[in-house]
Amino acid sequence: MVENDRQTLAEAFDREIDPLAEYATTFDEVDIDVFGMFLKDVLESENPTESTIDSYERSIREWTEFMEVQDRHPAWLMRTTSNGSSDANWTKRGTPNERQKRSSGS
């Protein structure tokens, strides 16, 4: 789909092509991990299995990487360490094995 087609479609529905574009600066300025909030406040309250948590974390990571390539904010701040690796809050939960050890008290 070419850009003109996108614009025509957006206008047909009285919508913007990129409705979040006007908030891009705000997303960059606010230091809040919205995906981390979701994982903690919504997902964990449902007591999901480790594989479900891992699936969500993988999806978040892949979405974040995709949006980075698009030079767009994925609706949260992904920090980068001095060596170039991501330092996102939700990754600090540990690997599935580390979480299993913590939950079993090992």
Structural domain contains residue 55: yes
Cut 0.85: pTM above it: no
* Amino acid code (one letter) for 45: S
Q: What is the reported pLDDT for 56?
A: 93
Tens digit of pLDDT for each residue in 58-103?
A: 999 999 898 888 877 787 444 433 344 444 444 444 445 555 555 6
Structural domain contains residue 14: no
Structural domain contains residue 5: no
Q: Is the pLDDT of residue 35 over 60?
A: yes
Structural domain contains residue 106: no
Q: Which has the closest alpha carbon to 65: 57, 56, 74?
A: 74
Query: How many structural domains are present in the chain?
Result: 1
| Tokens describing residue 39 | 């994982």
Structural domain contains residue 80: yes
